[in-house]
Amino acid sequence: MAETRTYHEQARIDQTLRLREVLKTLPDFAKDFFRAIEPRSSAKTRMNYAYDIRVFFHFLMENNPVYKNYTIDQFTAQDLERLEPVDIEEYMEYLKVYKRDSDQELMTNGEKGLARKMSALRSFYNYYYKHQIITKNPVLLVDMPKLHEKAIIRLDADEVALLLDFVESAGSKLTGQALAYYKKTRDRDLAILTLLLGTGIRVSECVGLDLRDVDFKNNGITVTRKGGNQMVVYFGEEVASALQNYINGDRKMITPLSGHENALFLSTQKKRMGVQAVENMVKKYAKQVTPYKKITPHKLRSTYGTSLYKETGDIYLVADVLGHKDVNTTKKHYAAIDEDRRRQAASAVKLRES
């Protein structure tokens, strides 16, 4: 009998195989960089870096007159040091809007996407510079793109209640196939939403859960965090009730397809739910309750983190529960001026004496 892998084990295998395919489309010398960062990075991170580095070389072949007749296999590490800071600046400008080589689809990058691709390039250059394979590092002479702070979007307390209430009662407004689908998925969707709102786990951690990861004796779930570390996250009675209702009801009635027997949350195709499926589900329900807020699973995580900080005032507890490696990340998001205090400013200054 074939060994049943966990969701995270299978994901690592799939990402590693995809990385090997992408590396075939990069210069041979690039493999040294990816081999070097393997011990301190995830397969997903390396795969994203490989895609980003490939964009850089395609940019050179498309836009740099020195490399317009090059093929990818002709590049050497020394080509990296032949570039000037202005070439790197032109690449940053290119990244804002460009066509993907495979299908000519128009690609765009906002601040975060631009910062990630430039971070990948900086790491790439740093490896060869640090190992004295190149003697110049033009990326060091270029200012990295600035990230502007954005307001954190999250659900207010009343919106959390409205969302869960809506999922429970939406069937009263549906008919036909829509009603049949709703009945099949209501308890599962309610369990997922309650779990995300009641624990703050990431959507990838949620879909990776197996039945054996749920411990009702201690009201805890074992999640696999970024980097592969496992941690027990505890939940309250509302989460316990929603999970038990789903597990003892609809989940017990489903016979999963082979390879998906252990999955906690199953799709209507009897397979483990994926990240995209949960994101679509959250969006579907949330837009009925808060149409002017773009709510995603990550926004539900922010909602939990904000509520936990307001209730406890303990930023270190929030960082620990959310699985943040750096507490400064948590402080930045959750320990800003309280919005209730900010609202007080609206009435604190009088423009006219009454």
Regarding whether 200 and 134 lie in a shared domain, the answer is no
For residues 198 and 104, give the distance between their C-alpha atoms in angstroms, rounded to a whole number.
42
User: Considering just the CA atoms, what is the radius of gyration of the chain in Å?
Assistant: 24
Q: Report yes or no on 171 lying in a domain.
A: yes
Q: Which of 22-26, 145-149, 288-292, 314-318 has the lowest mean pLDDT?
A: 145-149
Regarding whether 304 and 173 lie in a shared domain, the answer is yes
The whole-number pLDDT of residue 252 equals: 94
For residues 15 and 32, give the distance between their C-alpha atoms in angstroms, rounded to a whole number.
18
**Mean per-residue pLDDT of the chain:** 91
Residue 309, domain extent: 157-338
pLDDT, tens only, 205-241: 999 999 999 999 999 999 998 878 899 999 999 999 9
* Token pair belonging to 257: 């397809």
CB 268 within 8 A of CB 3: no
* CATH for 136: 1.10.150.130
The whole-number pLDDT of residue 149 equals: 77
Q: What is the dihedral of CA 280, 282, 285, 288, to 10 degrees?
A: -90
- Please name the residue that has the structure tokens 């196939």: 177
123: pLDDT strictly greater than 70: yes
How many separate domains does the chain show? 2
Regarding whether 173 and 239 lie in a shared domain, the answer is yes
Show the DSSP H helices in the chain as ranges.
7-23, 30-37, 43-63, 78-82, 85-96, 111-130, 157-169, 176-199, 203-207, 237-246, 252-253, 275-289, 297-312, 315-322, 327-334, 339-348
157: pLDDT strictly greater than 50: yes
Regarding whether 244 and 102 lie in a shared domain, the answer is no
For residues 192 and 149, give the distance between their C-alpha atoms in angstroms, rounded to a whole number.
29
Regarding whether 278 and 220 lie in a shared domain, the answer is yes
pLDDT, tens only, 44-76: 899 999 999 999 999 999 999 999 999 999 999
337: pLDDT strictly greater than 60: no
Regarding whether 219 and 132 lie in a shared domain, the answer is no
Q: Report yes or no on 346 lying in a domain.
A: no
Of 248-252, 315-319, 323-327, highest mean pLDDT = 248-252
For residues 281 and 296, give the distance between their C-alpha atoms in angstroms, rounded to a whole number.
9
Q: Report yes or no on 349 lying in a domain.
A: no
The whole-number pLDDT of residue 1 equals: 41
In percent, the amount of the chain with pLDDT more than 70 equals 94
